Amino acid sequence: MAIPARLHNQVYFWLLLCSLLCPTLLLGAQSATPDGDWWQKSSAAEQEGFILGYGECYASADSTRVREISDEADIRIAVSTYYQSHAAERHRPTAKVLQDVWSGHIVVRGSKPAREGEGWRERHGFLDGGWWKGSNPSEQLGFVEGYVACHNAEERKQPPLRHLPSLYVSQVSSWYDQAGDEDAVAQRRATKIQEVLTRLDMPAVAGKR
């Protein structure tokens, strides 16, 4: 059945409008800055994922930013304690609290001074396909939320990551899940999550790249 010309033009108009506005709407949907309110509502797994994701971007840019080495579980407790004891600062961005942790301004149990070159364990550390496949969905979401928050604030010369963290989670999982021979699978598994995120070209399926 032929579509009337007027209806066809209306459909075309709305599709064109969506193509122009949707990226902006998606960016706005994820642009709410994680703060104390967000932190208190998040699970421990999502919080620790956020710490790892934010640190992956923040520390890699300049290893001297991280002066104290701490386990992410201890950092999570320190951040929770900070927000609980500073009720007036519940709207302070979690990123700023983490920066205070790594600079040594907020004390973390069991932390130790970072030796030269030890700012983030190693560049991109253990955060590859092995970690991703062994983590749960909340950790994965938290990681992407943290990485996107840092990337869009700190990596000024790089294009922003505009899409919802949940979409990136799905795409990263698809990228690591691709079938292949043993060597190809092992090579993908060894690729750092940060590298996978930079390859994603939404809404195209990254696995086809």
45 contacts 139 by C-beta, under 8 angstroms: yes
Question: What pLDDT sits at residue 141?
Answer: 98
The pLDDT assigned to 117 comes to: 55
CB 40: neighbour CB atoms within 10 A? 12
Inter-residue contact 193 to 142 (CB < 8 Å): no
Among 42, 108, 34, 11, smallest CA distance to 69 is for 108
**Exposed, middle or buried by CB within 10 Å (0-12, 13-18, 19+), for 201?**
exposed
CA distances from 3 to 17, 33, 83, 165, 169 (A): 20, 45, 58, 37, 38
Domain residue limits, the chain: 36-208
pLDDT of residue 182: 93
Cβ burial 144-183 (10 Å sphere, 16+ → b, else e): bbbbbbbbbebbeeeeebbbbbebbbbbbbebbeeeeeee
pLDDT in tens, the chain (209 residues): 454 555 444 533 443 344 334 444 444 444 478 999 999 999 999 999 999 999 888 886 556 777 777 889 999 999 999 999 999 999 999 999 999 998 889 989 888 877 765 555 555 568 999 999 999 999 999 999 999 999 999 887 788 898 999 999 999 999 999 999 999 999 999 999 999 998 885 444 444 44
- Per-residue pLDDT at 199: 84
Nearest CA-CA partner of 29 in 145, 193, 138: 145
* d(C-alpha 131, C-alpha 209), whole Å: 22
Cβ within 8 Å of residue 20, ≥6 positions away: none
What angle separates helix 72-85 from helix 44-61, to the nearest 10 degrees? 100
* Beta bridge partner(s), residue 112: 69
- pLDDT number for residue 52: 93
pTM of the model: 0.78
pLDDT at 118: 56
pLDDT given at position 116: 63
pLDDT in the model for residue 208: 44
